Amino acid sequence: MEWVTPITGLLAAAISVPLLLALYFLKLKRLAQPVSSTLLWKRAVQDLQVNAPFQWLRRNLLLLLQLLALAMILVALAGPVLSMVSGAGRRYVLLIDRSASMSATDVEPSRLAEAKRRARLFVESLRTRATFGLRETGDQAMIVAFDERAKVMCNFTSDKRQLAAAIDAIESGHGRSRLSQALTVANAFAQSAGEEGGGRRTAARLVLYSDGRLADVDGLAIAPDDVVYERIGQSRQNVAVTALQARRPYESPDRVTVFATVANYDTQTVEVDVQLSFDGDVLSVRSLTLPAAQPDPEGGPDRPGRAAVEFALTQTGGGIIELRQLNDDVLAADDAAWVVLQPPRRSRALLVTRGNVVLESVLRACPLAGLEVISPDAFDAMDPAAFEAQGAHDVIVLDNHVPAILPRSRYLVFGRPPKGIDVVVPQQIENQMIVDWRPQHALTKHVNLSNLYAARGWRMILPRDADVLAEFNTAPAIALLQRQGSTFVLLGFDVFDTNWPFEPSFVLFVYNAVTYLGLEATGFEDTMLTTGEPLVLDGVESGMAVRVSGPGVDSRPVQIGPGPVARFVGTDRVGVYTLTVAGQTPRAYAVNLLDDLESDVQPAENLVLGAGRVVAAQEDRAHRANLPLWPWLVLGVMVLVCTEWIVYNSKVRL
Amino acid sequence: MTTTESKTRRTLRDLLDPAFMARLDGLDILSHRALRGKLRGERRSKRRGEGTEFADHRRYVVGDDLRFVDWNIYGRLDQLFIKLFLEEQDLTVHLLVDASASIAEPDRDKDRYVRRLAAALGYIGLVGNNRVTISLFGDGIVAEVSNLRGRGHVARLAEVLLDTEAGGASDFDKACRQAAATRVGTSVIIVLSDFLFKEGYETGLRRLIGEHYEVYAVQTLSPTELEPELAGDLKLVDVEDADASEITVSAALLKYYKQTLAAYCNGLKDFCVRRGATYALANTGTPVEQMVLNTLRRIRLVR
């Protein structure tokens, strides 16, 4: 048995025991009782004092009982405990994994709850500092919760209440596990003195509560002796949606094709049902058979059994596509994935020309949402940033104009190519005939260019990544180029220098080009994110009210940062988030997990650090806790007080 | 006489009840000295005529008066026995009643008992035509009526008993000195007290005891004195001299108290017996009637 706070006990004893004795030996207030004569009583008292040596004891039985009760309280105050942790005050860093795999429910109620429970037990067993100790420090601990990023829940302290509160505040998330940032943070704090350092620096010991699914574990710079790996979790039964895409083929924008991959991480074959919903309505359910996971011949993690599935829908509008696998498994976060489907949008075109009846009429014949015609000077006078932000036009058609500004957009350029896009135009060319073109390309599909004759043109020397779609005799005629975030379809000739307007292929080509460039404007990628990635919306003006709602987030205002962009980083959970700018239609973002490492919930047996060093998992032993003895002592005190009361009140003469 | 009797009975009824008084009518105070068998004529007699009550037999020894031989017994047993007579002597019955604070406090049990006992004895004495003197003492004798003879003075007896207040310190020795000084002839002195005197009872009693005087000591104690029911830490305050004694009551202390009490009473009894006085213990818990009719008869104070 050892004493946690012996000085406290001694100090309390020094105060209270003399006090109790003094109270007892002060003159007791005695009840005055008149008797006819004290003659006999005095003789009796004298006889008693002479003859009974333990009379003092009998008379002071109450005092003894009270002394005994006081002694027990004092011993309790001195904090006796059994099974102490020996050694000087140590420092511990508790790293608690709160990634998606820790939401698995194979350990009741969830792996994260179990990790928190074990961490709390550990905190309970920390040795505390003696109240009046001069040199001794207690154990200190620091709580760091990590998924991809690390968050310090509590700095080094011995205050168990603070530590327990910090542990309880850890919330589960759907991120990936990466330990490097957590370690960096822990090391930074371990170097500092901490709350009660007193100048002594002992190396902090890491205690990792995780299932071992760490992406960067082999690159970590820690010695195996410094880390204790508390493995949590036991099952590997999980089926996850690991890939999801939705595409509108541009030739039939009403149709949507959804591609998905479902993976099985268990060692048994499973049959799953996958369900496709659009905006909450279930459209289709399919059964899949997923093969069992196979061990990797190279010794890496097991390869899951995968199956691919494809759905074809007809959807003219936009909405949210959800793919969900209906089997019950331990991890629910990866059972569904979302994709935000944009409605097929008709493009809006901007024609920059001094007046071109042909182009104008052809463009008007195309299925556009709108056509705006401005003069080249007006175009050059625009602010490119504002133009990009407004996004009012998807396609810009430049008719023989080398623009002074080049905002990010999609360009159909007739005539001399714009400057600054790595295209060199050394000279003009004449009398060119199209000799070859690529009939399979989206731009030149169904377009017959064999009769195209150009009286004048420009020779274009294109960079190597440009796509040449049609060639004149001596120079490229039509090229496709991506530069500076913009897409350029370059035609090195003026329309009126050719006979093209009389060819039916002209109309077809312009239609193809406008459609192709318009589709490029509607990308899916920026609305599909993984957990932890921020939602970014540019083109907002500071001062506009932007709010976000989603899983776990309820209409929270979003700060507008420099840019100006609106940025929201709280995408901890999978689901569909909606950003609402005041006065505009809400934009949806799909946040998915889609991570093999997290979905494979099999807890790692050992942590394999860099250079093959292995940290074995701790046995799940009952955590050695210090058994405090003070409750028993307090119980004893209560019993003594009751006895004392009985003795005092009864007529039993002892 | 009837009116006087009814008047006296009414007053004495405050102390004694009529049925008891009726029984007391037939009793008389005895003096043991009578058993010595002195000549009839040598003393003054109360009655005109001779005392003829036969009391006892004694074996004949040479020198006895032959007139007193009981010839009936001789006829039957062929042995000579002398008849002894109870002489109705001219007795002075002196009642010395404790009227100090120790009798009256803390509750009036003892006081009432003692007064009733005194009333009974006084009544018996008056009824038996004796000379009755009753003195109440505290610090010396505080009240006295002396030489009452005959029923007519029952009222005065009652008066002094009822009207005298009890209380104050006690000086037994002084009272006994005063009592001894006023003695006349043969006396039976009955002391009714608790005898718990700090200065001791020996000196006082020694003054009273003498050749011609019969002393009866009736120690009156209440049940709370005999079997105290105290508990806890107490400060006992003596009602007479306000002397305080701090005690913590325990079983052992009570045991020692009772031992002390018993030793004290036995000591008083031994003292009396050794000097030819008679001792009786009265418990105020037992009724006065029982005391008078049983105990006092047994010790031959009354007959």
ipTM score? 0.77
State the amino acid at position A290 in one-letter form: L
More confident residue, A388 or A354: A354
Min Cα–Cα distance to chain B from A48, Å: 6
pLDDT number for residue A253: 67
Whether the ω angle into residue A564 lies within 30 degrees of 0, i.e. cis, is yes
The reply to whether A527 falls in a domain is no
The reply to whether A253 falls in a domain is yes
| Domain identity same for A23 and A117 | no
Average of per-residue pLDDT across A585-595: 83
The reply to whether A528 falls in a domain is no
| Domain identity same for A287 and A192 | no
The reply to whether A269 falls in a domain is yes
* Model confidence at A514: pLDDT above 80: yes
Please give the share of chain A, as a percent, with pLDDT higher than 70. 85
Inspect the interface and report whether the beta carbons of A36 and B254 lie closer than 8 Å.
Answer: no
pLDDT in tens, A358-371: 989 998 888 787 88
Could you say which of A497, A521, A545 is where a domain stops? A521
A37 to chain B, any CB pair closer than 8 A? The answer is yes
| Domain identity same for A49 and A163 | no
Size of interface A-B (CB pairs under 8 A): 101
More confident residue, A416 or A80: A416
Min Cα–Cα distance to chain A from B229, Å: 10
Inspect the interface and report whether the beta carbons of B237 and A34 lie closer than 8 Å.
Answer: yes
The reply to whether A590 falls in a domain is no
The reply to whether A195 falls in a domain is yes
pLDDT number for residue A132: 41
| Domain identity same for A215 and A79 | no
* DSSP state letters, B243-289: -EEEEE--HHHHHHHHHHHHHHHHHHHHHHHHTT-EEEEEETTS-HH
Most confident of A196-210, A431-445, A617-631: A431-445
* Model confidence at B258: pLDDT above 80: yes
Inspect the interface and report whether the beta carbons of A38 and B197 lie closer than 8 Å.
Answer: no
Total domains, chain A = 5
- Cα of A570 vs its chain's centroid, Å: 7
B49 — pLDDT class (breaks 50, 70, 90): very low
The reply to whether A392 falls in a domain is yes
Q: Which long-range contacts (CB under 8 A, 24 or more apart) does B209-214 make?
A: B209/B275, B209/B276, B209/B277, B210/B180, B212/B33, B212/B185, B212/B186, B212/B187, B213/B183, B213/B186, B213/B187, B213/B188, B213/B189, B214/B31, B214/B32, B214/B33, B214/B186, B214/B187, B214/B188, B214/B189, B214/B276, B214/B277, B214/B278
Please give the share of chain A, as a percent, with pLDDT higher than 90. 9
Inspect the interface and report whether the beta carbons of A47 and B261 lie closer than 8 Å.
Answer: no
pLDDT number for residue B42: 43
B229 — pLDDT class (breaks 50, 70, 90): confident
| Domain identity same for A548 and A437 | no
| Domain identity same for A319 and A174 | no
| Model confidence, pTM | 0.48
Average of per-residue pLDDT across A2-10: 78
The reply to whether A52 falls in a domain is yes
Q: Residue A296 maps to which CATH number?
A: 2.60.40.10
Please choose, from the candidates A242, A3, A5, the residue with its C-alpha nearest in 3D space to the C-alpha of residue A100.
A242
Q: Residue A104 maps to which CATH number?
A: 3.40.50.410
Average of per-residue pLDDT across A283-301: 83
* Model confidence at A87: pLDDT above 70: no
Q: Residue A490 maps to which CATH number?
A: 3.40.50.880
Q: What are phi and psi of B199, to 5 degrees?
A: -85, 0
Q: What is the DSSP letter of A101?
A: G
* Model confidence at A523: pLDDT above 60: no
Average of per-residue pLDDT across A263-283: 88
Average of per-residue pLDDT across A194-223: 69
Average pLDDT value for chain B: 81
| Domain identity same for A78 and A134 | no
Question: Domains of chain B, with CATH numbers?
Answer: 33-86 (no CATH), 92-298 (3.40.50.410)
| Domain identity same for A115 and A186 | yes
Could you say which of A344, A365, A394 is where a domain stops? A344
Average of per-residue pLDDT across A429-456: 89
Interface mutation vs chain B, best among A48, A49, A58, A652, most B CBs within 10 Å: A48
Average of per-residue pLDDT across B78-104: 80
* Model confidence at A128: pLDDT above 80: no
Interface mutation vs chain B, best among A24, A25, A27, A38, most B CBs within 10 Å: A38
pLDDT number for residue A391: 75
| Domain assignment of residue A214, given as a range | 91-234+603-625
Could you say which of A344, A367, A398 is where a domain stops? A344
pLDDT in tens, B177-222: 888 887 766 678 899 998 998 888 999 899 888 766 788 999 999 9
Min Cα–Cα distance to chain A from B241, Å: 9
Q: Is B224 helix (H, G, I), strand (E, B) or coil?
A: helix
Taking CB atoms and an 8 Å cutoff, what residues of chain B touch A47? 256, 259-260
Min Cα–Cα distance to chain A from B280, Å: 19
| Domain identity same for A169 and A278 | no
Inspect the interface and report whether the beta carbons of B239 and A40 lie closer than 8 Å.
Answer: no
| Domain identity same for A413 and A538 | no
Interface mutation vs chain A, best among B248, B264, B284, most A CBs within 10 Å: B248
- Write the residue in B105, B250, B259 that is nearest to A34 by C-beta: B105
Q: Is B16 helix (H, G, I), strand (E, B) or coil?
A: coil
More confident residue, A650 or A375: A375
pLDDT number for residue A539: 62
Structure tokens at A120: 């709390």
Q: Which neighbouring-strand residues pair with A256?
A: A313
pLDDT in tens, A133-191: 433 467 788 899 988 888 888 888 888 889 999 999 998 888 888 888 888 888 777 66
pLDDT number for residue B90: 63
| Domain identity same for A213 and A102 | yes
| Domain identity same for A104 and A135 | yes
pLDDT in tens, B161-184: 888 888 888 899 999 888 888 776
pLDDT number for residue A297: 78
pLDDT in tens, B99-147: 988 888 777 888 889 999 999 998 888 887 788 889 999 888 888 888 8
- Write the residue in B102, B234, B264 that is nearest to A31 by C-beta: B234
pLDDT number for residue A468: 92
Average of per-residue pLDDT across A637-651: 78
